[in-house]
Structure 1
Amino acid sequence: MSASSGIVAALRTSVGSTGRGLVRLAALVAVVGGLAACAGDKDVMIPDDPADQLYNEGLYLMQRKSDYTAAAKKFEEVDRQHPYSDWARKALLMQAYSYYEAKEYDDSITAAKRYVSLHPGSPDAAYAQFLIGSSYYENIPDVTRDQQRTEKAMQELEQVIRRYPTSEYAVSAKKKLDVARDQLAGKEMGIGRFYLNRKDFTGAINRFKMVVTQYQTTRHVEEALMRLTEAYMALGIVQEAQTAAAVLGHNFPDSRWYQDAYKLVQSGGVEPSENKASWISKLFQGRKTG
């Protein structure tokens, strides 16, 4: 599901009657006239724009001109000038959405977090939470860089699933969460390979162990099992190497990584063989990842 689909409901109810705004504007003009008469011409107060007018100007900029940043500014004005109105509640969500579409993700996060804080019981709170997670998700860095944003994306997307499990956004959040997990697994694999190349086999095993324990459903688990085979063979811990290769074969029989692991243990004069007492075997017992 795209982020824009979640905003349809808000758009459908966006264009309301301008009656209240015009009445308020007229009242403000009357007040300003009185103040101006008292204060003279040098300090003329300008009335606020009607909330519905600002809101619909934002919609126009968003829908007709695709100027999402300018639209967000209009929605901000609704919130600033009419902070306790129903229009302000709607505008705050639209502000978060507009910033998301403008790829100004930090601003989207700020607005969406404020919405969830102010309106936790709103039917649109699930969408606001989804925008927070999605904004972090869109900023996931390259796998070689620090993954703090990835971890934040996972935390916020998990909030969508946990707090709004029946919402339409939970499904999309799960898909994004899978990609984020894959990213973190890839980061661990990269570090593990680095240790392996330096012949720091214990350090490498710890990284590959993290992949198979914490990210077992990702695409990296096959290579992680093969690398465990490689590291254990290098350390002379042959039985664990045999188990890693056997578990890899049982769960991913068609994997190219299994072919590599099989050849590796054979080169040591043994065959893949699962030791049921091994942590690797226990981890995968009752599971089928392939």
Structure 2
Amino acid sequence: MRITGLLLLLALLGATSGCSLIPDQIDQTENWSASKFYSEAKKSLSEGDFEEAIRYYELLEARFPFGKYAQQAQVEIAYAYYKYDEPASALAAADRFIKLHPRHPHVDYLYYLKGLVNFNAGKDLISKYIPQDPTQRDPGAARASFDDFSILVRKYPNSKYSADARQRMLFLRNNLAEYEIHVANYYMLRDAYIAAANRAKYVVENYQKTTAIPKALSIMARAYKLMGLQDLSDGALRVLKLNYPEHPELAVIEAMPVPGK
């Protein structure tokens, strides 16, 4: 019986030892160097395996928090988060790098990446297949994107990312102005003429040279006329006629009856 019990004990110990050596439970990265972590992360990134790239970048930073590989990992993990559809993590990683390394040669890229993250905010899976009017989305992310790109072009005018940032700023500026027009029209439909006129006036004052300007002047002219503020209506109409003589709203506004007459 003693021999049988001993054999059973040895068998159990062997089984336990065997389980501890299952490949999935062995840390394959235990003896990796910083350069090995970085090369594997870069490889995963280039292959589109963003989850794996993020894992390697995080391990690299945890085990080798100082040095050139750690710094480069902090830059590239922000991009990996962005491609992995983790915008909050991407922005946090970018902000952290900018704060820690404000004079790093790649800091312009982090501002550009922040702008891209916010630029694409709100584009969910459905919107990728069903076209949506970007001027009707919440403008918060668009304003943040515009601000990020503005910092880039102001601080780093010669950056290779600045030209694209300027083009995106023009697009965002037009969208932000059109969003204000949507809101002004909403107020017009509900007879909230003061709110509509103020919103349109805001467009005229803050979004010059955008496609929304003639729409804003038209709303101002109609709203003021409906409120009985004929001088203000005539002023907006005069500017509209001078700058956009073919605008289809001109005849409509001129034909509107003056309240109380």
TM > 0.5: yes
CA distance in 1, matches of 2:163, 2:244: 27
Post-superposition, which runs of at least 4 consecutive aligned residues in structure 1 deviate over 6 A?
Answer: none
Match of 1:184 among 176, 179, 182: 176
Aligned residues: 222
Residue 61 to residue 88, structure 1, CA distance change in 2 (3 Å): same
Paired residue for 2:35? Answer: 52
CA distance in 1, matches of 2:250, 2:230: 12
CA distance in 1, matches of 2:140, 2:52: 30
Note the C-alpha offset of 1:242. Answer: 2.6
TM-score, structure 1 as length reference = 0.69
Map residues 143-222 of structure 1 onto 2, 5 A cutoff: 143-222=135-214
Secondary structure of the 2:170 match is helix
Per-residue CA deviations over 1:164-208 (Å, capped at 9, x if unaligned) read 122122222222222322332223212211221122211110011
TM-score, structure 2 as length reference = 0.76
Q: Quick check: 1:259 aligned with 2:242? A: no
Match of 2:107 among 113, 117, 125: 125
Secondary structure of the 1:160 match is helix
Secondary structure of the 1:121 match is coil
What letter is aligned with 1:251?
N
Note the C-alpha offset of 1:128. Answer: 1.0
CA distance in 2, matches of 1:158, 1:236: 41
Identity of aligned residues (%): 26
Note the C-alpha offset of 1:251. Answer: 2.3
Q: Quick check: 1:111 aligned with 2:93? A: yes
Per-residue CA deviations over 1:41-76 (Å, capped at 9, x if unaligned) read xxxx9955211111111111122x311222122122
Secondary structure of the 2:161 match is helix
Paired residue for 2:23? Answer: none
Paired residue for 1:84? Answer: 66
CA distance in 1, matches of 2:56, 2:243: 55
Secondary structure of the 2:172 match is helix
Structure 2 unaligned residues grouped into runs of 5+: 1-26, 124-133
Secondary structure of the 2:211 match is coil
Q: How much is the aligned-residue C-alpha RMSD, in angstroms?
A: 2.4
Residue 73 to residue 218, structure 1, CA distance change in 2 (3 Å): farther
Match of 1:72 among 54, 59, 67: 54
Paired residue for 2:221? Answer: 229
Residue 84 to residue 147, structure 1, CA distance change in 2 (3 Å): same
Q: If you compute each CA radius of gyration, which structure gives the higher value, 1 or 2? A: 2
Secondary structure of the 1:168 match is coil
Match of 1:139 among 111, 115, 121: 121
CA contact (8 A) 1:245 1:262 kept: no
Secondary structure of the 2:85 match is coil
Structure 1 unaligned residues grouped into runs of 5+: 1-44, 270-290
